[in-house]
Chain A
Amino acid sequence: MTVYKLTCVICPLSCSVEVEVEGNRVKDVRGFSCPRGKEWAVEEVLSPKRVVMTVIRVRAGKEPVVSVKTDSPIPKERIRELMSYLATLEVEAPVFIGQVVVEHPLGLETKVVATRSVEAVETREHA
């Protein structure tokens, strides 16, 4: 049996929540003051998830990189793998805010979306 001690981050109350786990089963949750806090603590212990943000290289853009995020939290243990994959990508300018840069990277349930726009550099036409 393991007892996890967490500080709830759902609201500024910052309750100290304890989650008692045996194997893969939650035995007891203590110290929360609302149902959302209880739910958060259980998920945080059994399958923690995070939104991931980074920048991706842009080809022929007015700026060298575009900022992106996962549009939903992904399992914490897959973060490193996702970051290594995103580091290999390059997108072509123009990029628009909200544009999906990768759909389901590495089979994950999420999309990677641009969080700003990057214009293309004007290329002069050669007659």
Chain B
Amino acid sequence: MMYDVVVVGGGPAGLASASESSKLGLRTLLLDENPRLGGILPQCIHPGFGLHCLGEDLTGPEFAHRLIEEVRGSGVEVRTQAHVTSLAMRSDLVKEVTYASPQGTEAVQAKAVIYAAGARERHRFEVGIAGDRVAGIYTAGEAQAMMDLYGVMPGRRVVIVGSGDVGLIMARRFALEGAEVVGVVEMLPYPGGLARNLMILRDFDIPLYLSHKVTEVRGRGRVERVKVVRVNEELRETGEGFWIDCDTLLISAGLVPRVKILRRAGAIMDPATGGPVVNDRLETTLPGVFAAGNSLIINDLVDYAVEQGRTAAKGAEEFVRGNGIPTRRWIRVRRGGYVRFVVPHMLGGDRDFWLYARVSRPVEDALVEVPEIGLRRKVPVLKPSEMLRLRIKSGVEGGRVTLVIR
């Protein structure tokens, strides 16, 4: 079976790209490994979704519902319980996508592929927590699925590692359900989450330990206590630390793009984002293979994941209609001061697009510049936890441009 576009992943990025490419007249297949569509959204029952792209404040399941309805009305073919295992480039114009389903292993061919497989959560060993292998240690997303999809309470006395939005939102969920959150432990000297989520700590009297690290878990069978140690500016442990009694340890230490299949297919990765290198169509270094959502860059706002999905669909249309995007001279995008990453990595100069970037540390009274095109903008504060999004107009020329933040 030959499709114009196969979309891998049915989260917000995949749903948006599938309905968009179908609307653009492309024969589209959407594959997701779960029995239900929506990706991470059905388990994010808190409000805070769609503020930018819909101007409404929806919960995750409500936002997912809108996107799923859009896909249903657009003629996209949908296959759930379809776990994609590989992507192979048969030629520049033909890709083969193989997936495992209840019917066995199947393969489909497509001219273009949009890869929107989301992200995975970092686990305890990646953040250096030693000690006993006991029950009661979860990633934030695992605990969230237990509570909000299955109605199961993971524990009663909880320590949370990480003060980003996900950690704070889980702190509120536990506190609302009557559990005691005995501490949120953050390695950095400043909290990671948005101001509106930091209010949660005050609402429920939850202690926040900045410049601290959980280093060890102890217990027989189940978590009984964790060791917390102060760290210095180089994030090195100082002093003996102290123990906190708890029965649950929640790891909310950030997400990593899920890119195994893309990498195995030969796409070049950017160590700064953990995702693939892309141009302004969100096309990876594999011709006709596009990336969107959290497998491209970790998006704290679902709105950006949706936006990337639609951009990728437009790129796929250009590729399919033009039998491959015509070779052009790509302009390189470089990182200047305080820029941790910037996406896309290359641009054609022939169209408007969004530039997404993150800073490496908080910057007050920041000056954001792209000197080569005379772009200058003042921003009161930039934080590593909040993505910077810039509109770049068409008509860019030259060999390279640089994003500088001072």
Contact = CB atoms under 8 A, between A and B. Distances in A.
A79 B45 CA distance: 16
A116 B176 contact: no
Contacts of B46: 53
Interface in B135-153: 147-151
Chain A contact-residue range equals 20 to 34
A57 B151 contact: yes
B243 to A, nearest CB: 29
A79 B176 contact: yes
Contacts of A91: none
Given A55-B151, A67-B59, A115 B195 contact: no
A65 interface: yes
A30 interface: no
A14 to B, nearest CB: 5
B227 to A, nearest CB: 31
B203 A76 contact: yes
A45 B177 CA distance: 25
A53 B45 contact: yes
Contacts of B53: none
B178 interface: yes
A54 B151 CA distance: 10
B198 A65 contact: no
Contacts of A55: 45, 147-148, 151
A13 B194 CA distance: 11
B61 A51 contact: no
Given A64-B151, A116-B61, A51 B195 contact: no
A97 B176 contact: no
A9 to B, nearest CB: 4
Interface string A8-27: 11001110000000000000
Contacts of B386: 12
A51 B49 CA distance: 14
Interface string B159-199: 00000000000000000111000000000000000111011
Contacts, number: 64
Interface string B197-208: 011000100000
Contact of A97 (B62, B177, B195, B198): B62
Contacts of A115: 45, 59, 61-62
B288 interface: no
B47 A65 contact: no
A76 B60 CA distance: 22
Interface string A102-126: 0000000000000111000000000
Given A8-B195, A9-B199, A14-B381, A65 B151 contact: yes
A50 B45 CA distance: 15
Interface string B316-339: 000000000000000000000000
A43 interface: no
B161 to A, nearest CB: 23
B156 interface: no
A67 B65 CA distance: 13
Contacts of A64: 150-151
A63 B195 CA distance: 34
Interface string A76-108: 100100011000000000000100000000000
A67 B61 contact: yes
Nearest to A56: B151
A50 B62 CA distance: 18
Contacts of B380: 13
B43 to A, nearest CB: 9
Given A53-B47, A67-B148, A83 B176 contact: yes
Contacts of A83: 176-178
Contact of B176 (A54, A65, A67): A54
A54 B177 contact: yes
A9 B196 contact: yes
5 contacts: A53-B176, A55-B147, A64-B150, A97-B62, A116-B61
Given A51-B47, A67-B59, 13 more contacts: A7-B199, A8-B195, A9-B196, A12-B386, A14-B195, A53-B46, A55-B148, A65-B148, A65-B150, A67-B61, A84-B178, A116-B62, A116-B64
The 9 closest A-B pairs by CB, nearest first: A65-B151, A116-B61, A9-B196, A67-B45, A115-B59, A7-B195, A14-B195, A9-B195, A115-B61
